[in-house]
Amino acid sequence: TILTGLFGHPVGHSLSPLMHNRAFAELGVNFHYAAFDIDPGQVREAVAAIRALGLRGVNVTIPYKVAVMDYLDEVEEEAKAIGAVNTIVNEGGKLIGYNTDGRGFVRSLIEETGIDVKRQSAILVGAGGAARGVAVSLLRAGLPSLAIANRTEEKAERLAEQLQAMNPQARIAALPMKEIADALTDATLLVQTTSIGMHPNIDASPVAAEALHERLLVSDLIYNPLETKLLRDAKEKGARIHHGLGMFIYQGALSFEYWTGQPAPVEAMRKAVSDALY
Ligand code: ATR
């Protein structure tokens, strides 16, 4: 058996083992995915164990996506730009770090809505790790215009500056939260990356319903609940909506493809996760 898994702390509630083991079974490959709860003082040893035990690779989740980077032999460009690794691949003892979160989001967005990223004017809500991954990948996919709004404005400003330096061709700016409604008039894509609206606080939304309109595609990274207050409001205003389940599925699918070299059985993975969640 070829072993893969998840490094995190905690990992007990993760749906990744279920999703990946379902995918391995679907393709009939002799792989297994295990959850490893890593002690905060043992990250270096855990990464070394990938080599020592001959694991094919692992996913990395909270709180180690940044910490593992120090112990890898190579980090791919996009993961460097995001500043975090969520996938490690063991190429004959050489450990390479990737980040499939942002690309998972973009692939989900394109496959599930059919939009052309190169023609969008986007507003991003949030400036944390998830926002950064999504923004880096959207810009790499050709997004020409991005405004970032965050509760802590300085974080949005810093992220906007860093992204602008990496993407001189795009128009990138920080946006005060209270100006979201005005800015939405000309936007075509709204991406919500904070925990606002997540279970159990399902009646919270970071954007006033009145600001939403039918020329918008509204995307929320949250997938529990599947339809947040923001998405319900958006639907009511005639906007198109995109929820966060696809990002989770596709980040896993991309990891799966690195490890197995085969196309991931995306629909089987989606069904396994949906059945467990809803
Ligand atoms: P993640 O990896 O999920 O992005 P994170 O890096 O901790 O997690 O970032 C959390 C994001 O959600 C931040 O943008 C945070 O805003 P601040 O930078 O102001 O902290 C945002 N966030 C979380 N809870 C929030 C709340 N109740 N209201 C507004 N923003 C919130």
Bond prior to 225 in cis (omega within 30° of 0): yes
How is residue 259 written in tokens?
């490890």
Candidate list 65, 118, 229, 271, residue with the active-site label? 65
Is ipTM > 0.95 here?
A: yes
Q: Nearest-CA neighbor of 39 among 75, 74, 9?
A: 9
Query: Does any ligand 1 atom lie closer than 6 A to the CB of residue 127?
Result: yes
pLDDT (tens digit per residue) in 124-180: 999 999 999 999 999 999 999 999 999 999 999 999 999 999 999 999 999 999 999
Query: Does any ligand 1 atom lie closer than 6 A to the CB of residue 150?
Result: yes
- Residue of minimum CA distance from atom 6 in ligand 1: 128
CA-to-CA separations, 211 to 154, 232, 255, in angstroms, rounded: 24, 13, 37
Q: Nearest-CA neighbor of 71 among 41, 92, 48?
A: 48
**Beta carbons within 8 Å of 110's beta carbon, 6+ residues apart:** 117
Which residue segments constitute the domains of the chain, with CATH numbers given?
2-99+246-277 (3.40.50.10860), 102-243 (3.40.50.720)
Q: Nearest-CA neighbor of 253 among 12, 13, 23?
A: 23
Give the ranges where 115-244 is alpha helix by DSSP (H): 129-140, 153-166, 180-184, 229-236
Annotated binding site: 14-16, 61, 77, 86, 101, 126-130, 150-155, 221, 223, 244, 251
CA of 157 to the centre of ligand 1 (A): 14
pTM for the full predicted model: 0.97
